[in-house]
């Protein structure tokens, strides 16, 4: 498996920290109480609530370990680059495809990728093709679905309208 980039936006880092806090302070105590209540009912070997609660606790603990280690490894990119109009990490980009349709993407880290919101990974074929490009340039994107050409219409470091 290819190594993922270790960059994240401040918003992405906050989202991961919020998930970590929620799992640790709310979800884990709730599930732990459920397991404790189920254990008090007696025979644990056929107690579905106990068995599934223990499984859920293992999943929570695994996610807590992952989030803790990942947050320690990530670099939060706080400020936009000095070069305006050029695509770097965190950029919002308005593109036009070959059919003349416009799309807006934000180049983010792999931990915050969200296709429905237009957040594309810096490690994706589209993200790699866009890095370093400027407004007005044509970009060839080699995708699993086939090659596509996009024109960079606008680049910004605040959400584009």
Domains and CATH numbers, the chain: 7-76 (1.10.287.180), 92-156 (3.10.50.30)
Q: Which pTM value belongs to this model?
A: 0.84
pLDDT at residue number 43? 73
Which whole number is the average pLDDT over 35-47?
83
Q: Among positive and negative, which fits the CA dihedral 120, 81, 130, 109?
A: negative
Strands (E), the chain: 7-8, 75-76, 92-96, 102-108, 119-121, 138-143, 146-156
pLDDT at residue number 85? 86
pLDDT at residue number 143? 85
Which pLDDT band, with edges at 50, 70 and 90, does 2 fall under?
low
Per-residue pLDDT for 48 more than 60? yes
């Amino acid at each position: 498996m290819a190594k993922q980039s270790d960059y994240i936006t401040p918003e992405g880092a906050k989202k991961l920290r919020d998930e970590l806090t929620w799992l640790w302070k709310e979800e884990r105590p709730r599930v732990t109480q459920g397991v404790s209540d189920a254990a008090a009912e007696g025979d644990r070997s056929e107690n579905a609530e106990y068995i599934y609660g223990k499984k859920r606790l293992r999943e929570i603990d695994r996610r807590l370990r992952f989030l803790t280690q990942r947050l320690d490894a990530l670099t939060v990119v706080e400020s936009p680059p000095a070069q305006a109009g050029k695509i770097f990490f965190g950029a919002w980009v308005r593109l036009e495809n070959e059919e003349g349709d416009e799309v807006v993407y934000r180049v983010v880290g792999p931990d915050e990728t969200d296709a429905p919101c237009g957040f594309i990974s810096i490690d994706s074929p589209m993200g790699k093709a866009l890095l370093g490009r400027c407004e007005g340039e044509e970009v060839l994107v080699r995708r699993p679905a086939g090659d596509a050409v996009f024109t960079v219409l606008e680049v910004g470091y605040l959400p584009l309208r």
